[in-house]
Amino acid sequence: MHGTKDRPRLCIFRSINHIYAQLINDDDAKVILSVSDKDLGAKAGKKAKLEIAKEVGKAVAEQSIKNKIDTVVFDRAGFVFHGRVKAVADGARESGLKF
**pLDDT greater than 80 at residue 42:** no
Q: Does 30 reside within a domain?
A: yes
Per-residue pLDDT tens digits for 86-96: 999 999 999 99
Task: Decide if 73 is inside a domain.
Answer: yes
Domain that holds residue 17: 9-94
| 3 is a domain residue | no
**Rounded mean pLDDT, 14-40:** 94
- The residue-averaged pLDDT of 29-49 equals 86
Please report, in angstroms and rounded to a whole number, the separation of the first and last CA atoms in the chain: 13
> How many structural domains are present in the chain?
1
Q: Is residue 99 situated within a structural domain?
A: no
Tell me what the mean pLDDT of segment 17-26 comes to: 94
CATH number at residue 50: 3.30.420.100
Cα–Cα distance, 79 to 59 (Å, whole number): 21
Residue 78 lies in a domain: yes
Task: Indicate whether this model's pTM tops 0.85.
Answer: yes
Cα distance between residue 74 and residue 55, in whole Å: 17
Has residue 81 been placed in a domain? yes
Which has more confidence, 45 or 32?
32
Residue 43 confidence (pLDDT)? 67
